Amino acid sequence: MKLVIIGGVAGGASAAARARRLDEQAHIIMFEKGEHISFANCGLPYHVGGVIEKREDLVVMSPERFRARTNVDVRTAQEITAIDPAAKTVTVLNRHTGESYKESYDKLIIATGSSPKKPEIPGIDDTDVMVMWNMSDMTDVKDRVNDGIKRALIVGGGYIGLEMAENFRHQKIETVLVQRSGQLMSVIDPEMASPLSDCLVKHGVKIHFNTTVVRICRQSIGKDDEKTELLVELSSGKTVKTDIVIVAAGIRPNSELAAAAGLALGDKQGIVVNEYLETSDPDIYAVGDVIEVMETVINRPSQIPLAGPANRQGRTAACNALGGKSEFKGAIGSSICKVFDLTVGNAGPSEKILRKEKIPYLKVYLNPFSHATYYPDAKQMHLKMLFSPEGRILGVQIVGRDGVKERIDVMATAIQTYLSVYDLQDLELSYAPPYGSAKEPVNYAGFVAVNMLEGKTVQVCADAIAENAFLLDVREKSEFKAGALPGAVLIPLGQLRSRMSELPKDSGIVIYCQVGIRGYIAERILRQNGFNVKNLSGGYVTWKMFNASKEQ
């Protein structure tokens, strides 16, 4: 068996290592057009910021160590320029010598990954307009930081854009972020992204929402023609002066090789694969950012460019290329990102996606604390859960300063294993005051959702309050004075039973408190006394997230 793998890093290197563990006799060749077969690309921004001090710490496995450990024929700086499925050969360009040669294969795994998109705008090819994608990119940006740059502009507010903003600020660099849409982190919903905007602004990042870059040019600084700066013209009409531009405006799959070889591509130009990661040619497999995978919740192909799925795909493809029948069961896009002192995590589709796909859903908002509030340093989280009218958990998003990852991981497991909100409320999860609460947030999300499905509560979200609704605030007077919904009437929960005569019975009442718990108690009281009431999901805290200012 001769197995050829195109590309290293998460998908390709995992496939090569797994293939060797499965078959000691197989002839395995891994081609990598760069110098590094396995590096921590997710850690690149943190070296720029000085959090990861040593560049070499990001090299997970050198070619030499990989060869010695796996007996895989690793060929770096050798680029595959063509695939001939009929002859079962690949054409290889040695980037050091310029020579080309052909290599045969019995089975082929394509792990060519993806590349950053660069918008077609004047000035985009300036040497100080950079991306953050590989070790070479990181070195170029780090060199400019070491040169003493004072200003940076970032195009794009996704994972890389946010991480670069944080790490530039760690280096005391004045940072501007330009975002095409009205929110950061497009994989989550706008209201859940609002704390991220607040966090960036608090740490000195200037954000331009609903804005694109239209032109980049250079101008001399003062009378010295040798010293120049970049001028970035924005669609808003504003111009920003900067020393460096980082483009983090999305990615595209590196599927040109596959397309030229006649392999089927999907709508977004990712390679089409089946559950065994076979392409349209049964002797060719593909893994990682270059492929389309089934997004299991919405049951349609999608591109999910994340390291975790790529590693698992590499294992699956290696097994099947060597005669196995292992299935890749799809993905739900579980991810997490650090943004200064905040953490944002998600699993499953967002509300935006569910609406687009016309999938029926309900939603609930919670604002629990990371652990028992009587134990020091409890931090509030913001949780949004989406579920079907039958109770299946569809998606979750959490933003907070502590406790986010463990809750996202539990919810991701629940989504992947098709648990319902009824199951969620019954999960037995560990508890001690430093780590959680007796009423664990994951369980609590189940409690609220089940109450909704069983009619014990009728919730309304901040984006669906009727204009003529009677707004009832059941918090304390001090809370009301600190901020309230416009037009709301205050009746603290402890006074509600004695003041029900002040409430209308001929119109709908929307009750709210700080996070929803007192609102639910008030709803139960009033509902059993004949009032038409709804509880504001997530309370005043979530309402503020929906109504956050976009003036950044």
Q: For the segment 68-85, what is each residue's pLDDT rounded down to a tens digit?
A: 999 999 999 999 999 999
What DSSP string describes 310-373? HHHHHHHHHHHHTT-------B---EEEEETTEEEEEES--HHHHHHTT---EEEEE--BSS-T
What's the rounded Cα separation, in Å, for the pair 261 and 280?
A: 11
Handedness of CA 58, 64, 69, 70 (dihedral sign): positive
Which residues, listed in sequence order, are joined to residue 107 by a DSSP beta bridge?
Answer: 3
Q: Which residue has the tokens 């960036």?
A: 200
Percent of the chain as helix, strand, coil, to the nearest 5: 30, 30, 40
Residue 221 pLDDT: 82
Q: From edge to edge, which strands make up the β-sheet containing 213-221?
A: 213-221, 224-234, 239-242
Residue 551 pLDDT: 45
Rounded to the nearest 5 degrees, what angle is found at the Cα of 219, between the Cα atoms of 217 and 222?
165
Q: What is the pLDDT along the chain (552 residues), one digit of tens a residue?
A: 999 999 998 899 999 999 999 999 999 999 999 888 888 888 999 999 999 999 989 988 889 999 999 999 999 999 999 999 999 999 999 999 999 999 999 999 999 999 999 999 999 999 999 999 999 999 999 999 999 999 999 999 999 999 999 999 999 999 999 999 999 999 999 999 999 999 999 999 999 999 999 999 998 887 666 788 999 999 999 999 999 999 999 999 999 999 999 999 999 999 999 999 999 999 999 999 999 999 999 999 998 988 899 999 999 999 999 999 999 999 999 999 999 999 999 999 999 999 999 999 999 999 999 999 999 999 999 999 999 999 999 999 999 999 999 999 999 999 999 999 999 999 999 999 999 999 999 999 999 999 999 999 999 999 999 999 999 999 999 999 999 999 999 999 999 999 999 999 888 999 999 999 999 999 999 999 999 999 999 999 999 999 986 544
Structure tokens at 231: 């001028």
Residue 224 pLDDT: 64
State residue 499 phi and psi, 5-degree precision.
-120, 20
Choice among 42, 319, 337, 513 that is catalytic: 42
Which residues, listed in sequence order, are joined to residue 247 by a DSSP beta bridge?
Answer: 155
Give Cβ neighbours of residue 54 (< 8 Å, ≥ 6 apart).
none
**Residue 273 C-alpha from the chain's centroid:** 23
pLDDT digits (tens, 9 = 90+) for 478-497: 999 999 999 999 999 999 99
Annotation says 42 is catalytic: yes
Side chain identity at residue 216, one-letter code: I
Q: Which residue has the tokens 């059993």?
A: 528
Residue 552 pLDDT: 45
Residue 548 pLDDT: 82
